[in-house]
Structure 1
Amino acid sequence: MSGAPLLQHPYYLLSWTTMSHEQRDFRRGLALQWARTVLRPGNQLLVARCGGRSTFTMANWDGHWIVSISGIDDISPLCVLRVNGRDVVNPGLWP
């Protein structure tokens, strides 16, 4: 997916309103498993958030949430678009 514009990122192509709760939970589980394998403290993350995109530096985990060094503690692994400036293949995002 490297080099693809963010607007073509699968995150923007999903229709969460048409998915069942089981499908959503499955996607979240895939994203969490991927994130726990790939992400490390100190990684720069570009994430989709309400109102757009934000960049954070990862500090640690709080349950299934990513915590930034600034104390933001509700970053979903499902919303990670880039790690250290590189597009990611987050399995929770693919249809």
Structure 2
Amino acid sequence: MFDDVIQEDVLLEMKYVYDYVKIETAFPKYATKKALQKYSSPTLLFAAENDVFFPSKLIVPRSEQIFSNLTKTVILQNSSHMQNNANINKILTEIEYFFSN
């Protein structure tokens, strides 16, 4: 899940989540184009290349099929499910740019 050195506070947070939070074990059901037909807001997609749960090679094509308003897709290269500081900064920059334009 991690592609960088795991910081102690993040590791502790993950421990608390797994120790004290009842985690849903089933993945969310797939959205359909029909279910999203009334959704018209511009959409920004982030996908991690090596995400063990949601790999970009599956997420991007599926998103292109169901979102008619997919404005921008950012694939985080060499990245896993949990983001490192460099990717967090990239994500924040992309979000800021997306909402300012």
State the TM bucket, normalised to the shorter chain: under 0.3
TM-score (norm 2): 0.26
- Structure holding more strand per residue: 1
- Structure holding more helix per residue: 2
